[in-house]
Amino acid sequence: MRRSHDALRADHAVQCPNCGSTKRPHAACRECGYVRPGLKLALSKEE
């Protein structure tokens, strides 16, 4: 029982579907600013 909650506290990381780098789910990708389909943060080097 002592590890029963580990899954909920795990440090999640997903691969950015846009550039492939590791990022946190629901957090903007540091490489490309991708968050989820339909939402992408503008990076400073935007053209």
Distance CA 30, CA 16 (A): 10
44: tokens are 């400073």
Residue type, 10: A
**Contact call for residue 19 and Zn ion (CB under 5 A):** yes
Pairing, β 14-15 against β 22-23: antiparallel
For Zn ion, the binding residue among 32, 35, 40, 43 (CB under 5 A) is: 32
For Zn ion, the binding residue among 16, 35, 40, 43 (CB under 5 A) is: 16
Identity of the residue, 9 or 16, whose beta carbon is nearer to Zn ion in the bound complex: 16
Residue type, 25: P
**Contact call for residue 35 and Zn ion (CB under 5 A):** no
**Contact call for residue 43 and Zn ion (CB under 5 A):** no
